[in-house]
């Protein structure tokens, strides 16, 4: 994952002048909807359920608003008109329909709320942006493609495909090429996130396929109550910075039953996230499931109450990872990784508090405080070129309360075990592990970071 620069003023100076014109659309008898997503949440309002023939929903077909759907014509205005009409409708559930059998090209666009009722964007056809930086209009943002801003109670679903057409972005000379003759050269490097949800709540993403994003496939910033279920995300293993799902300053998140393979983290968790549950994810090839990177540019980062469980990570550079920069502050705490199967993973279990993207990062005396991390029932195979467990903690801010149980990691090839690596890592073993971990320091360090450093 790479940190993007945010230009929030862009959103607050947006002038909403588009007025939806009256078009024919389909209206059904009104009825109410509910969705029981998870037993861990109570008294929550949920995004609309998939529509049925007599559910009282109102349908806004983008073709009715003039969209061509030939993959060439610019259908942006038609999508905006359909969205605005649905958003202003007083029906309980309003469906913007992207019909099957058509391919719609839409430029960088912000879909804004709040809306009058629940809103469903149902993608049954194919949705795509302009094809690469040469086709991208100069007057639109190159940092994002489709943005959903200040939306409450929205569902993104359907049987279609969202194709980010990322190849020409990945081939920019500035990108980190990893081929045998790879080079990285200076030059413009902004690439769009495919789908960004910003300052929104009660969101559901379900059943979609999304592929080949220029950068992150999904990004949730400043959101609350997010449900992602049964989605498929794919991009090549060497596509740079193509995180599957990135969340930041977002809480009450459920990511379930999905398949992700890409060129970066399957799921990346940034600062300001808490109450996150990730379950039944098939991840890889990728860079694994990561918390971080955190603390870049001496920033404060806070992450807590994270669970990753009952998932498979295969053919990936990392398994479950916590990565922080030197010089940061704040904390990562109350994290559980459990019932995870590894298949030929380079670094199945890793804490890296010396994360750096170049060779000239200087040593610093402060760091994000990592504590109360549980690794339970993690089994499988690892790439013998790397240690199966690596706990590289800060010189000045040790990791504490690392707990390991039922760990069984075997070499993918041969029968020689690599020893785990520990540096300034405090914790305990609840069971024997394979390979044995003898490098954890028992108890607690003599000194812990002060409240000002680790406070969140």
Catalytic machinery residues = 287
Q: What CA–CA distance (Å, rounded) separates 221 from 153?
A: 16
Judging by beta carbons within 10 Å of its beta carbon (0-12, 13-18, 19+), is residue 42 exposed, middle or buried? exposed
Helix (H) or strand (E) holding 86: helix 76-88
Residue of 32, 48, 283 lying closest to 158 (CA atoms): 48
- Which residues share a beta bridge with 307? 277, 336
- ∠ CA 13-18-22, nearest 5°, is 160
What does each C-alpha distance from 293 to 119, 300, 305, 413, 432 come to in angstroms?
Answer: 33, 12, 17, 31, 30
d(CA 104, CA 67): 8
Sheet holding 347-352, edge to edge: 109-112, 144-149, 193-198, 218-221, 245-248, 267-269, 289-294, 318-324, 347-352, 389-392, 421-423
Give the strand pairing for 273-283 and 251-261. parallel
Strand partners, 123: 98
Phi, psi of 374 (to 5 degrees): -115, 130
Question: Shortest CA distance to 91 belongs to which of 113, 115, 111?
Answer: 115
At residue 320, φ and ψ (nearest 5 deg) are -105, 125
Three-class secondary structure of residue 189 per DSSP:
coil
- The residues pairing with 154 across neighbouring beta strands, listed in sequence order, are 119, 203
DSSP calls for 216-240: -SEEEES-EEEEEES-EEE--TT-T
Q: Judge contact between 245 and 267, C-beta under 8 A.
A: yes
Please state, in angstroms and rounded to a whole number, the distance separating the CA atoms of residues 406 and 267.
Answer: 24
Q: How many CB atoms lie within 10 A of CB 443?
A: 9
């Amino acid at each position: 994952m790479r940190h993007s620069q945010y230009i929030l003023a862009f959103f607050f100076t947006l002038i909403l002048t588009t007025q939806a014109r009256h078009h024919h659309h389909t209206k059904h008898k009104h009825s109410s909807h509910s969705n029981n997503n998870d037993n861990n949440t109570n008294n929550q309002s949920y995004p609309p359920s998939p529509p049925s023939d007599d559910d009282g929903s109102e349908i806004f077909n983008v073709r009715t608003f003039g969209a061509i759907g030939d993959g060439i014509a610019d259908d942006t205005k038609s999508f905006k008109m359909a969205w605005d009409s649905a958003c202003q409708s007083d029906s309980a559930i309003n469906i913007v329909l992207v019909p099957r059998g058509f391919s719609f090209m839409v430029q960088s666009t912000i879909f804004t709320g709040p809306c009058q009722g629940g809103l469903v964007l149902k993608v049954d056809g194919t949705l795509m942006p302009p094809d690469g930086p040469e086709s991208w209009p100069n007057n639109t943002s190159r940092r994002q493609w489709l943005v959903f801003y200040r939306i409450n109670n929205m569902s993104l679903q359907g049987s279609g495909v969202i194709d980010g057409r990322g190849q020409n972005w990945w081939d920019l000379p500035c990108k980190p090429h990893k081929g045998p003759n790879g080079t990285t050269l200076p030059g413009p490097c902004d690439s769009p996130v495919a789908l960004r949800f910003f300052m929104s709540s009660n969101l559901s993403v379900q059943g979609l396929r999304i592929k080949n994003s220029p950068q992150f496939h999904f990004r949730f910033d400043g959101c609350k109550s997010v449900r992602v279920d049964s989605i498929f995300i794919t991009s090549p293993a060497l596509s740079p910075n193509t995180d599957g799902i990135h969340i930041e300053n977002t809480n009450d998140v459920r990511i379930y039953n999905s398949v992700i393979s890409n060129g970066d983290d399957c799921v990346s968790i940034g600062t300001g996230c808490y109450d996150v549950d990730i379950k039944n994810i098939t991840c890889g090839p990728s860079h694994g499931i990561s918390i971080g990177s955190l603390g870049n540019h001496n920033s404060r980062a806070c992450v807590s109450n994270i669970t990753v469980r009952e998932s498979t990570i295969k053919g990936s550079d990392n398994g479950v990872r916590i990565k922080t920069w030197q010089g940061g502050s704040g904390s990562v705490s109350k994290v559980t990784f459990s019932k995870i199967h590894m298949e030929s993973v380079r670094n199945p279990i890793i804490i890296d508090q010396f994360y750096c993207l170049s060779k000239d990062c200087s040593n610093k005396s402060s760091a994000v405080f990592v504590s109360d991390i549980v690794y339970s029932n993690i089994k499988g195979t690892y790439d013998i070129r790397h240690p199966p467990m690596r706990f590289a903690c800060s010189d000045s801010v040790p990791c504490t309360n690392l707990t390991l149980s039922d760990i069984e990691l075997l070499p993918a090839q041969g029968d020689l075990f690599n020893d785990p690596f520990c540096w300034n890592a405090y914790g305990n073993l609840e069971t024997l592990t394979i390979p044995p971990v003898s490098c954890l320091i028992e108890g607690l360090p003599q000194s812990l970071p002060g409240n000002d450093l680790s406070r969140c």
